[in-house]
Structure 1
Amino acid sequence: MEKRCPVALDITGRDIHAEADGLRAQGPATQVELPGGVLAWSINSYAVIKKMLTDPRVTKSARNHWPAFINGEIPPDWEMISWIAMDNMVTAYGKDHVRLRRLVGKAFTPRRTEAIRPRIVELTNQLVDALETVEPGEVVDLRERFAYPLPARLVADLIGMSEDARVKTAKVIDMMVDTTVTPEQAQAVLLGWRGAMADLIAAKRREPGEDITSDLIAARDEDGSRLSEEELTDTIFAILGAGSETTINFFDNAITALLTHPDQLEMVKSGRASWDDVIDETLRVESPLAHLPLRYAVEDIELDGVTIPKGDPILVNYSAVGRDPALHGEDAGRFDLTRTDKEHLSFGHGPHFCLGAGVARLVATIGLSTLFERFPDLALAVTREELQPLPTFIMNGHRALPVRLTAPVPAGAHAR
């Protein structure tokens, strides 16, 4: 097969969809260059990604299966170090992954998810009520005022983190997903989130509460072999980061899609389409995750004439899945709530399927329905082309979402 030079991923995330189309055209696996000159394999096809997510020859554990990391060739200030240095249920391998996932999974049962509903309604109403104080027609950043704080505050509640601590940690998480950071910033990010989690754990040891952190501390302290201190720290951070960043970008993308497709929004308002349709079509056409780092080949993997050598890192491009023409046809990039097949892998697939998917769907439904009921004539304040993407090839969202708020419908005028 023709040997190609690695494609340097655009660290600014200027057009992740066009980039995915170009990579997909090169074959099932294409070698790419990450920050710092690190090489990896980008997977951009639905069929290959779905198979790879359940392939036992693929792992997420750098400490077990990435020779460059194990041998010290990856410096501690590598721009993406936080994504591989973690030791939690996301990066664990084999029995350790099963053990950690079982512990965390107790917090996301259907019963516990439903118990969160009142808090989601409360947080949503607080944010929408605050928006009602804005003068009609005034431009506000809806990402900053709604899409960001709703999931971020909810997940902070779930792990027992105070609002002050959440605000400080949010800056660290934002930098972690930014692929334009310098090595010095990357090192500060790693130290920053680990320090924040250590402070949270210490506080919860002193005063346990009804939260995931206290539950995991109890599991760790009852039997130290079940959860190491590093696993405890890194798992709580994984819940905070994964539970907030992806949902923030989902809200951003869903609101953008509805405001730029008024015919589709009207279908929801009239009841011809549901909020479930909105959720799945948004996740299909605008996955909040783009290239998620990193997985590794446990052994040589052959993909239609391309061999990913043992130990090489792999990037799964979730934003490419729902837009693959092989799955959804030539109009795969079109937002269409009437599409009967909205298949996507935005919650993952296989052993790493998102444990918080039920919570994410609940907050998405309550958040979107409340926002559009209270502001039915909400409008973008700029054209879609003027929205600036986040500076990252890891996430898919915008730096800001400027909108104009029209006169709100009084609370209680619609049933929630």
Structure 2
Amino acid sequence: MTTHEAVSAALADPRVQKDKKYWTAFNAGEIPADWPLISWIINENMLSKDGEDHTRLRRLVSKAFTPRRVELLRGGVVAIVESLLDDLERAAEESPDGVVDLRAVVSQPLPLTVISELFGVDEATRPRLHGPVGVFFDQSVTPEEAMSTFLELWGVLTELVETKRAAPGDDLTSALIAARDEEDRLTEDELIWNLVLFVSAGYETTMNLISNAVRALTHHRDQLDLVVAGKVEWSKAVEEVLRWDPPGQYVPMRYTTEDMELAGVAIPKGEPLLLGYGSASRDDARHGPTSEEFDVTREDSSHLSFSHGRHYCLGASLARMEVNEVLPRLFARFPDLAVAVDDADLVPAPSIIASGVDALPVRLR
């Protein structure tokens, strides 16, 4: 589904569900175990649940991501941002040609640090999460690499649960364990699967959003100048980035539970739907003939980057807050910051799910 109408209709229609039990081909054994998107199908977290199961899982963590709770995190996020910008300047000074990878020094560690602190992941464990999570979004790896890396991630999170079960803290992992052990509302697999979702989605998408925003703004200096001059709010610029180059392009999968029609297309029962959030946000039918243009002054920058309806992204407020804190500080400190290579020379992330680049070399001055 690639149009705004089709994606919106699929998100809102109760005849379209997330549970793989509705996929005819999967249940007939026609989808091989080494299919590159298989981990997105077999998971047992909120991403693949409907109805009461989804509500039950969502309720356990939703209070941690309310706008009020997110606001309480702002001071800590600002401190992390300032520290990372110090690191960025230091790395540039130490670089022979003044070029530094902004993705590695700022875009990746900011959301990883924030989500790790939320879930009680200590500093020694955090590097062990980054590599496996990246592979989770990578559709170019071999099936053997994918399985090996997934088991590695599962092992790290299992260790985290064991640690927090022995010594609970004021963090979301401990809260999920309490729901599992005391209220018996989570199975052990559900506990780990949801940690996989929260930790991976909690930083991979925000990491790409930061890098995508820097690319968009530095390649459209006139737009950046408007924001820096205060003529356009940073929050409005962030929404335009989310529309124009969202960090999540597709999220597998949804399934039709009966023969139906969506946006004028007849679809049989039991079919998988892949929703194109990126293309929907650039749909001429929604945003007119300038939909392909990056324009921070656009009157309507509405998008589906955080999905819509009952599966709307829990971390949307947190992601927005992080990006709205890092961007103004980045460009206030380094107003001449520019990408150090041509856009065509940047290596895109090897994923149909995430939209980003493997590295973002920049010059600060």
Q: Could you tell me which amino acid in structure 2 is paired with residue 252 of structure 1?
A: S
Are the counterparts in 2 of residues 81 and 190 from structure 1 also a CA contact under 8 Å?
no
Q: Which of 54, 66, 75 is the matching residue for 2:12? A: 54
1:13-412 to structure 2, matched below 5 A, reads 43-62=1-20, 64-133=21-90, 134-135=92-93, 138-224=98-184, 226-303=185-262, 306-406=265-365
Q: CA deviation at 1:206?
A: 0.9
Q: Could you tell me which amino acid in structure 2 is paired with residue 45 of structure 1?
A: T
Between the aligned partners of 1:82 and 1:154, the Cα distance in structure 2 is: 25
Q: CA deviation at 1:304?
A: 5.3
Are the counterparts in 2 of residues 76 and 187 from structure 1 also a CA contact under 8 Å?
no
Q: CA deviation at 1:132?
A: 2.0
Q: Per the alignment, in what secondary structure is the counterpart of residue 79 of structure 1?
A: coil
Q: Could you tell me which amino acid in structure 2 is paired with residue 57 of structure 1?
A: R
Q: Per the alignment, in what secondary structure is the counterpart of residue 292 of structure 1?
A: strand
Q: CA deviation at 1:197?
A: 1.5
Between the aligned partners of 1:272 and 1:254, the Cα distance in structure 2 is: 18
With normalisation by structure 1, the TM-score equals 0.84
Are the counterparts in 1 of residues 6 and 263 from structure 2 also a CA contact under 8 Å?
no
Q: CA deviation at 1:375?
A: 0.9
Q: CA deviation at 1:303?
A: 3.1
Q: Could you tell me which amino acid in structure 2 is paired with residue 277 of structure 1?
A: K
Residue of structure 2 in register with 1:40 after alignment? none
Q: Which runs of 5+ in 2 are unaligned?
A: none
Q: CA deviation at 1:402?
A: 0.9
Q: Per the alignment, in what secondary structure is the counterpart of residue 289 of structure 2?
A: coil
Q: Per the alignment, in what secondary structure is the counterpart of residue 125 of structure 2?
A: helix
Q: Deviations over 1:198-223 (max 9, x none)?
A: 11111110111111111111111111
Between the aligned partners of 1:305 and 1:320, the Cα distance in structure 2 is: 18
Between the aligned partners of 1:81 and 1:372, the Cα distance in structure 2 is: 40
Q: Could you tell me which amino acid in structure 1 is paired with residue 163 of structure 2?
A: A
> Which contiguous aligned blocks of 4+ residues in structure 1 show a shift greater than 6 angstroms?
none
Distance 1:305 1:116, change over 3 A: closer
Q: Could you tell me which amino acid in structure 2 is paired with residue 65 of structure 1?
A: Y
Q: Per the alignment, in what secondary structure is the counterpart of residue 116 of structure 1?
A: helix
Q: CA deviation at 1:267?
A: 0.5
Between the aligned partners of 1:259 and 1:321, the Cα distance in structure 2 is: 24
* Higher deviation after alignment, 305-314 or 368-377: 305-314
Q: Could you tell me which amino acid in structure 2 is paired with residue 122 of structure 1?
A: A
Q: Deviations over 1:241-265 (max 9, x none)?
A: 1111111111111000111111111
Are the counterparts in 1 of residues 88 and 102 from structure 2 also a CA contact under 8 Å?
no
Q: CA deviation at 1:144?
A: 1.0
Report the number of matched residues: 362
Q: Per the alignment, in what secondary structure is the counterpart of residue 290 of structure 2?
A: coil
Are the counterparts in 1 of residues 45 and 197 from structure 2 also a CA contact under 8 Å?
yes
Between the aligned partners of 1:77 and 1:161, the Cα distance in structure 2 is: 30
Percent sequence identity over aligned pairs: 46
Distance 1:173 1:246, change over 3 A: same
Between the aligned partners of 2:240 and 2:295, the Cα distance in structure 1 is: 7
Q: CA deviation at 1:189?
A: 3.0
Q: Per the alignment, in what secondary structure is the counterpart of residue 164 of structure 1?
A: coil
Q: CA deviation at 1:181?
A: 1.6
Between the aligned partners of 2:302 and 2:111, the Cα distance in structure 1 is: 24
Between the aligned partners of 1:245 and 1:275, the Cα distance in structure 2 is: 21
Q: Which runs of 5+ in 1 are unaligned?
A: 1-42, 407-416
Distance 1:284 1:305, change over 3 A: closer
Q: CA deviation at 1:305?
A: 5.3
Are the counterparts in 1 of residues 133 and 200 from structure 2 also a CA contact under 8 Å?
yes
Q: Per the alignment, in what secondary structure is the counterpart of residue 90 of structure 1?
A: helix
Q: Could you tell me which amino acid in structure 2 is paired with residue 222 of structure 1?
A: E
Q: Could you tell me which amino acid in structure 1 is paired with residue 141 of structure 2?
A: V
Q: Deviations over 1:8-36 (max 9, x none)?
A: xxxxxxxxxxxxxxxxxxxxxxxxxxxxx
Q: CA deviation at 1:325?
A: 0.7
Are the counterparts in 2 of residues 291 and 394 from structure 1 also a CA contact under 8 Å?
yes
